[in-house]
Amino acid sequence: MTAVRQIIRGVGVSPGVVVGPVRRMPDPVPEPDAGARVAEPDRASEAGRITEAAAAVRADLAARASAVTGDARDVLEATALMADDPTLTDAAAALVTAEGLTAQRGVWQAGSEVAATMAALGGYLGERARDVTDVRDRIVARLTGRAAPGIPVADEPFVLVAADLAPADTATLDPTQVLALVTESGGPTSHTAILARALGLPAIVAASGVLALPDGAPVLVDGGAGTVVPDPSPRDQERAAALRSAASLAFSGHGVTGSGTPIALLANVGDAAGALVAASTGAQGVGLFRTEFCFLDRREPPTVAEQVEAYTAVLDAFTGRRVVVRTLDAGADKPLPFVTDAAEANPALGVRGLRTAARAPRLLDDQLTAIAEAARGRDDVWVMAPMVATAAEAHDFVTRCATRGLRTAGVMVEVPAAALCADAVLEHAAFASIGTNDLAQYCMAADRQLGELAALNDPWQPAVLRLVELTCRAGRRRSRPVGVCGEAAADPALACVLAGLGVSSLSMSPRALGPVAAALAGAADDACAAAAEAALAAPSAADARAGARALLPHLADVGL
């Protein structure tokens, strides 16, 4: 009788099929001795060691950030700033001087308390709790002379298995060494998942039981299906080898279904460097230009002139191609001292996105003025507002844009109310772009950074797809284009489903363009529609994914 292999199942967040040996993340930095004490005369110098160690950690992270671009650079720069944030270092130093704790114990205790507070708040602050513990561990390692946390080194490429990964580690993964990434916690829109997609690594999160795999054990990882198969057979290994090239499929510059229906394949970018990379891959335009890079890490907002210069650099990389500029999405995951309130009990449901215009109207007016100036002489620059919930908000935003000569003004659909009332919203907005990350979070009432809720917070959830369908129906009635710029757009199978629901454009990490284009090209319109219907009728996200993939057999043939 043939033994049945146990398959570990998680949430696939980046497609690809690989076989390789498991390598576990090294043991974490141990908790320092809580009983050790420093004599009172030595406490000031002991506290000073914290400042020195934090500055060294920040310098190391900043140096690593300067060597990368795009999402990886953004994450590393944010983590570097956190390394000597007074919230952590001052609290740690106070524990040393007041209670006589060692520097390493003070950092550990202060960092743990800050992380616990953030985790309890949820939303953006909950997301950053993992970043705090990573910074804490790096400073403690520096103080104790240990090696900083990091990716294991091996003589052959491997499948990296971890409870979770700090964004700073994920950002600097070497794709020539790491074949795939599997974590026991995390969600489909976590920093780890986003960066894995940007690197083109097959990846699975929320894979319960994966930590039981012994180091060195061979496994097959299918990032599209979300499965880990221990001890793959020779046939499994042959299939994986044949499909390995799928992750590097080139993009021709034209997105179409198998029936020839055009689906614009666009890129998500956050700065000029990212725009140049995206343009070089053949992206048909930019579906999401995140403008937050101009505003982050500042005590005062940038001037109009500073914004014009920054926006022009991105637009110039895509001359002759559409660029959709999202206005400032401050709040929740991007708090800014000059507009957001750090004391909000639930930032994800607070004053964020377009809502900040009521608190700081000049901030939005100046930004629209800068966008209009940068777009002067071009008719392919669109602008959209985040976190629109009502038709009245859409009308107000479109009016503000019109007074500055911005003729093509649209909205992000991230709030279920906007999808449910999409017909009224699109009476005013020229287009809609669906942000599936937040739409799933709000629709399912599931914090998108909480691994325990990863199965709920999944763009494959039929309820989320139903909201997409409603928005697309309204778009057809109003003759308004509807696109998707959330992480769902980078999923080749889901891209086919979204096309079947009526989406006309998909915006993603540049690395995903080739695989998504291949998935669409192999699926006729009726196959996309059938896959969409199967997903909508499914009882769960897992069933929706399985049902759609069963109707898109070409995906498995090319490792998607």
pLDDT digits (tens, 9 = 90+) for 318-332: 999 999 999 988 765
pLDDT at 496 over 50: yes
Q: Which of 294, 401, 421, 485 is catalytic?
A: 485
- Tokens for 535, please give them: 């997903």
- pLDDT single digits (tens) 93-120: 999 999 999 999 999 999 898 888 877 7
pLDDT at 459 over 80: yes
Domain end, chosen from 144, 164, 192, is at: 144
Instruction: Tell me the pairing of strands 432-434 and 218-222.
Output: unpaired
pLDDT at 24 over 80: yes
Same domain, 413 and 291: yes
Q: Helix (H, G, I), strand (E, B), or coil: what is residue 268? A: strand
Same domain, 352 and 258: yes
The H-or-E segment that residue 194 falls in is: helix 191-199
191 is catalytic: yes
Domain, as residue range, for 59: 40-144
Residues found in the chain:
560
The Cα–Cα gap between 463 and 439 comes to 10
Same domain, 462 and 545: yes
Q: Mean pLDDT over all residues of the chain?
A: 87
The Cα–Cα gap between 552 and 537 comes to 16
Same domain, 176 and 192: yes
Residues 178-195, mean pLDDT to the nearest whole number: 79
Q: Which of 191, 401, 428, 528 is catalytic?
A: 191
Residues 435-442, mean pLDDT to the nearest whole number: 92
Please tell me the predicted confidence (pLDDT) of residue 72: 67
Same domain, 12 and 61: no
- On whether residue 33 sits in a domain, the answer given is no
Number of other CB atoms surrounding residue 416 within 10 Å: 18
pTM of the model: 0.68
DSSP-assigned states of every residue in 62-102: HHHHHT--HHHHHHHHHHHHHHT-HHHHHHHHHHHHHH---
Q: For a pLDDT cut of 90, what percent of the chain falls above it? A: 51
485 is catalytic: yes
- On whether residue 256 sits in a domain, the answer given is yes
Q: Helix (H, G, I), strand (E, B), or coil: what is residue 284? A: coil
Nearest one of 460, 415, 422 to 189, comparing CA atoms = 460
Same domain, 168 and 70: no
Q: What is the 3-state secondary structure (H, E, C) of 130-172?
A: HHHHHHHHHHHHHHHCCCCCCCCCCCCCEEEEECCCCHHHHCC
Domain tally for the chain? 3
Same domain, 206 and 256: no
Please tell me the predicted confidence (pLDDT) of residue 1: 37
Same domain, 397 and 421: yes
Same domain, 425 and 475: yes
- pLDDT single digits (tens) 47-92: 999 999 999 988 888 887 777 666 667 777 777 888 877 888 999 9
Domain end, chosen from 113, 144, 175, is at: 144
Same domain, 291 and 414: yes
Specify burial of residue 156 (Cβ count, 10 A radius: 0-12, 13-18, 19+): exposed
